[in-house]
Amino acid sequence: MKSASLHFILFIGFAATALASDGTFPVESNLRAGVAKVDITPKNNDGVMAAGHRRMVHGVRDPLRAGVLVLDDGETKAAIVTMDTLFAWNELVSQARERIEKETGIPSANIMVAASHNHSGPAFDADPEWATSLIDKLGTAAKKAADSMSPVSMGYAEDKIGFGINRRKVIDGRAVVRLNPDGPNDPRVKVLRFDDGKSLTPMAVLMHAVCHPCFFTWGDKGTQPYPNGYPKMSADFPGEAQTFVELSYGQKTNALFLQGCAGDIRPNLPGYPYRCADEADIQWAGRDLGSAVVRSLAESVTREKLKDRSTFYQIRTASSVVSLPGKEGRIDAELSAMKIGPYLLLTMPGEPMVEYGFKLEKAIADRAIPIIVGYANGNLGYIATADSHKVGGYEPNASRLVPEAEVMILTELGSLADQVVGDVFESFSKHPKDVKEREALEEAKRKKSEK
């Protein structure tokens, strides 16, 4: 009898051990990562002029946040900063990089600073106290992330959202503002997860989607209850989606949002020509994106997906400041590439129309897994395609650039991709002369970008 009881107890203990370990998985990787998020909502938030869709807002619906993801492959350190702001303004980027480099030792050239393009928050230059606080908080978050690094592996999956739509339609050879379901659109959601293997909860999540965060803006006189736009500060759908993902994992993960080529993609909210969202709309969008992300995260830790994960992730970065032709003279713009293992992030400092993403992905083809990021490392406004200038419309008319800028942007980003992918001879030659030339070129670019 005692023997049977002992066997039963041992069986229960073994089962409990098995259940406790279910959901863990080994992480064998050279890559280390740390992450932190911080609330960047202005302390004084009553009577703030919202940027993007300019209107006075009183109080806060949901907080604005920033996230810092710090990465180290054993040789190269890099950081990705995301913010619930309208732009990554030039002055903000330079100050953030300087502070993060000071706090972490990460070279400023290896720090990507990206905005969600949120239309319901303040401008960086509108409130000096908030601007100073924002930089301080980014530095604090970066240090916290750097101090909490651990070995990770990476997972990737895609899903789709259903609330974005093109906002241009060509009628009689002229582009007008119109919700256009037949226009180009990119509903894909790209999701990277960083895992320490201790559970099925990711340490950090990078979600990438393509749509203007302007649910709470515009308004039209025929639509109640917000004909003048939503009256409170908000992080719009990217904030709602981040919250949804973090709640799905019991607040034990950190979700960061990267905006894609959303220059001509907006929420599908019919009106004259659009209407402002209400609470039902923002929940629809936030949960649509959040659900797509959570589905992708769950899929990417199935045993088949885990089996395919790499054990070696090399970080390679490259950037350049190009002089683009503008309507009123030359305009400097920073373009960059960051490759983490097989994942390639290419950035533009403004609002690229959706076709830019398609063209860059086609050019990269099977060389890497591309994630094209807009609104990063500066702001030069709309980046319209050459074709769009032929028919006019809001984006090309508002752009500071001329049509010839497109080919220069695509060519330079292609060159940066070559450098970090390393499958072009000029990019990976170890001949001392080639190495010296590359280093001299990168140093010249770095000095130019710091001026």
Q: What pLDDT does 445 receive?
A: 63
| Residues 91/93/99/100 CA torsion (nearest 10 deg) | 180
Nearest-angstrom CA–CA distance, 70 and 263? 28
| Residues 425/430/435/438 CA torsion (nearest 10 deg) | 30
Written as six digits, the tokens of 386 are 């050459």
Nearest-angstrom CA–CA distance, 113 and 349? 10
Helix (H, G, I), strand (E, B) or coil at 3: helix
Decide: 173 and 224 in contact? Cβ < 8 Å: no
Q: What pLDDT does 7 receive?
A: 53
Total residue count of the chain as it appears in this document: 451
Type of residue numbered 196:
D
DSSP structure class, residue 350 = S
Ranges of residues in the chain with a pLDDT under 50 are 1-2, 6, 8-20
Residue 94 Cα distances to 89, 109, 141, 245, 316, angstroms: 9, 10, 17, 30, 21
Report residue 225: phi and psi, to 5°: -95, 5
Helix (H, G, I), strand (E, B) or coil at 147: helix
Classify residue 446 as exposed, middle or buried by CB count within 10 Å of its CB (0-12, 13-18, 19+). middle
Decide: 41 and 120 in contact? Cβ < 8 Å: no
Helix (H, G, I), strand (E, B) or coil at 97: helix
Q: What pLDDT does 451 receive?
A: 58
| Domain boundaries defined on the chain | 32-450
Give the model confidence (pLDDT) of 25-77 as tens digits. 999 999 999 999 999 999 999 999 999 889 999 999 999 999 999 999 999 99
Decide: 406 and 147 in contact? Cβ < 8 Å: no
213: Cα within 13 Å, side-chain hemisphere: 35
Residue 71 Cα distances to 137, 198, 353, angstroms: 19, 19, 29
Contacts of 220-223 spanning 24+ positions with Cβ under 8 A: 220/271, 220/272, 220/273, 220/274, 220/275, 220/276, 221/272, 222/271, 222/272, 222/275, 223/271, 223/272, 223/275, 223/276
Q: What pLDDT does 20 receive?
A: 43
Nearest-angstrom CA–CA distance, 323 and 223? 44
Decide: 239 and 84 in contact? Cβ < 8 Å: yes
Decide: 227 and 327 in contact? Cβ < 8 Å: no
Report residue 35: phi and psi, to 5°: -145, 150
